Structure 1
Amino acid sequence: MRGKKSSRAYDDAKCSTPSSVPFPSIFPKPLSTDSVDWLLPDQLCLVRNFLTAKECATFITACSQLTFIASPPPRKGEAHRTNDRFSFEDQAFAEKLWEAGLAQCCQGWVGSEAKVNGRTASGLNPNIRVYRYSPSQLFGAHYDDSVTDPKTGKKSEWTLLIYLSGIEDGIEGGETVFYKDHSRKGDSDREIVAPLERGSALLHRHGNACMLHEARPPRKGTKWVLRSDVMFG
């Protein structure tokens, strides 16, 4: 899937802290078939209403108290990025997110190497990242790498993005855009634009199966995102 020349995402784990963040409780919600929308089969999955509007507002209030760091200038091979970030390690929070509906959504998903090692979706990466995009901030075209948990040996294969704010909050722009090939030449027919809907969870394959994608800058409003990875083991 990936092109020969690729821009990687900066490794957020390098700036993570072991401290947990006092996030609000998340309550499990049964997922209906109407809430799961495959934007591209076996590649891009949107789970609508994963979090309620109240949960999103409470999360944003908690996130607003964090000390964010600015994205560093890209090194060779890294994508241009200007959004603010915070990351931390929290196994308990990762488990709560997983049990809030993602376990049901990902049930039966198998890893790309399933024929060899039989890996299936088993939880989330405890490295939780919070992204804040103010107007004009962006994350240029890139590919997400997979990670391996040194403690469990589990390997990530899908990126999880949870939109805490969206068009319902007056945000204009800021969408995550995926490209069906490895070039960006303005051909809208070769783009898949994930709707920026508050409370939705976007899952997309990463590692060798990752599509070239970018986070466009908001023209208006602040975009808040929770990020983790689906682990297979």
Structure 2
Amino acid sequence: ADLPIFTTAPGSIRLAEPSGCKAVSRKDIDGVPGGFVLSDVLTPEECDQMVKLSETMGYTEDAPVSLGRHIRQNENCVWLADPQLNDALFERCRASFPPEVQGGEVCGLNARWRLYKYNPDDIFRVHTDGSWPGSGVSPSGDYVIRDIYGDRWSQLTIVIYLNDEFEGGPTRFFNPIDAAGQEFRVATVRAGRGGAVCFFHGEHPLSPLHEGGKVKQGTKYIIRSDVLYRLP
């Protein structure tokens, strides 16, 4: 069966005005070239709204990629965020993203937000992330257009943590330290509620091997999207 893709009316979730929230701050991740953590991407209230809305839309175990349960054990919900919300989140984070990658200028977030829910013992084993075009809803509102712009493609993953009430579940990066790729330096990162982990993906030479570590207790909620850059 096809995976359901949800849309919401503009204004279903409104981000706080800049005067009502902390400025986003950035810290590079040691041992992960090009990787960084952002703090205060979402306020606690915004995180709670996102979790509540995602549960209302509903999660499914059917992965939207061809990965078996031996690789990925979590539930997911695909939400096509409305342009107002998607653009507001991008503008909040824009100054923290690399302004240019491989000759293309940063220009937005993919509105195709993938929300993941990890229950105890769920894990997303070692993998690399693929790149995406920017998706959107057709002018008639009847269907999803995978590549709605035609002039941009993603270069970075952004993973936003929506809650803290869980044990385990960090993001782990595996950076090879020998030419044969047999030994790795492991960097373990957990952004905290409302924070985000960002790193290169797709064909970028710094796209890292990583995993969503096993959740030991509680439930972990995250959003994964993509940072879009114009095609050079």
Mapping 1:1-233, distance limit 5 Å: 15=3, 17=5, 19-20=7-8, 23-27=12-16, 28=18, 29=21, 31=23, 35-40=25-30, 43-72=34-63, 75=66, 80-90=71-81, 91-99=83-91, 101-106=92-97, 109-111=99-101, 113-114=102-103, 119-149=104-134, 150-152=147-149, 153-166=151-164, 169=165, 171-181=166-176, 190-209=185-204, 210-233=207-230
Task: Report the residue type matching 1:215 in the other structure.
Answer: G
Measured against aligned partners, the alpha-carbon deviations of 1:72-96 in whole angstroms (never above 9, x if no partner) come to 5985799711100011323332112
In the superposition, the TM-score normalised over structure 2's length comes to 0.78
**Change in 2 beyond 3 A, CA 1:148/1:73:** closer
**Contact 2:15-2:85 within 8 A present in 1 as well:** no
Partner SS, residue 15 of structure 1: coil
SS at match of 1:64: helix
Partner secondary structure for residue 102 of structure 1: helix
- 1:30 to partner: Cα distance: 5.6
3-state SS of 1:88 partner: strand
CA distance in 2, matches of 1:151, 1:78: 31
Return the alpha-carbon distance in structure 2 between the equivalents of residues 195 and 143 of structure 1. Answer: 18
- Over 3 Å counting, the alpha-carbon distance change for 1:74 and 1:55 in structure 2 is closer
- TM-score by length of structure 1 reads 0.77
Is contact 1:132-1:225 (8 Å) kept? yes
Aligned position for 1:11: none
Looking at structure 2, the residues matched to 46 and 76 of structure 1 have their Cα atoms a distance apart, in angstroms, of 26
* Greater alpha carbon shift after TM alignment, 15-24 vs 171-180: 15-24
Whether the aligned pair in 2 keeps the contact of 1:146 and 1:156 (CA below 8 Å) is: yes
Contact 1:74 1:81 in 2 (8 A): no
Q: Which residue number in structure 2 is paired with residue 7 of structure 1?
A: none
In structure 1, the gaps of 5 or more residues are 1-13
* RMSD of Structure 2 on Structure 1 (CA): 2.7
Structure with a larger share of its residues in strand: 2
What amino acid does structure 2 have at the position aligned with 1:15? L
More helix by share: 1
Amino acid of the residue matched to residue 175 of structure 2?
K
Report deviation, 1:151: 2.8
Residue type of the alignment partner of 2:8: S
Moved more, 199-208 or 146-155: 146-155
Asked if 1 retains the 8 angstrom alpha-carbon contact of 2:6 and 2:57, the reply is no
Q: Percent identity?
A: 24
| Matched position secondary structure for 1:58 | helix
How has the CA–CA distance of structure 1 residues 184 and 124 changed in structure 2, closer, same or farther, with 3 Å as cutoff?
farther
Take 2:163 and 2:132, find their aligned partners in 1: how far apart are those partners?
Answer: 27
In 1: Cα distance, 2:65 partner to 2:57 partner: 23
